[in-house]
Amino acid sequence: MTQTVGTSISTPIVAGFLALARQKWPDATSNQLLQLLIHTTVNPDGGWNQYTGYGVASPATMMNTDPSQYPDVNPLADKGGGSSPTPEEIAQYADGVVPPAEIVFDNSYTYRGLDESVLGATTNPYPTHLGTSPRYHAK
């Protein structure tokens, strides 16, 4: 590898570390592997900060730590402090229940909620299928 400057190279390197962890721990969920990544970093602060994130990834520590000890919860979804989108906002979007007026420039969005007023709204450029959200049909 040649010497690089900046953070762009960190993404493929960390993706490689996660691929190695997936190979070693094939029964671990994606969320557990993310938990493994952040719990095995080298970070003197012991948590997330705006300058170094969770710290330096440690592939050796990752390979020697069983991720099944961690919960199947995405540790990156909600950092707190009012960050957005929240896990609930992501779920609302995925279920198609975000009011169309709040969606901007998303040609793939389909409103699937129950609000009949969006049918004739001139502010709704999105396809609308009332009541078809998976939220209403889950077992």
For the segment 94-103, what is each residue's pLDDT rounded down to a tens digit?
A: 999 999 888 8
Number of Cβ within 10 Å of residue 18's Cβ equals 17
User: Is the model's pTM score more than 0.85?
Assistant: no
102-125 tens-digit pLDDT: 888 888 899 999 999 888 888 888
Helix (H, G, I), strand (E, B) or coil at 37: helix
For 76, the token pair is: 């990156």
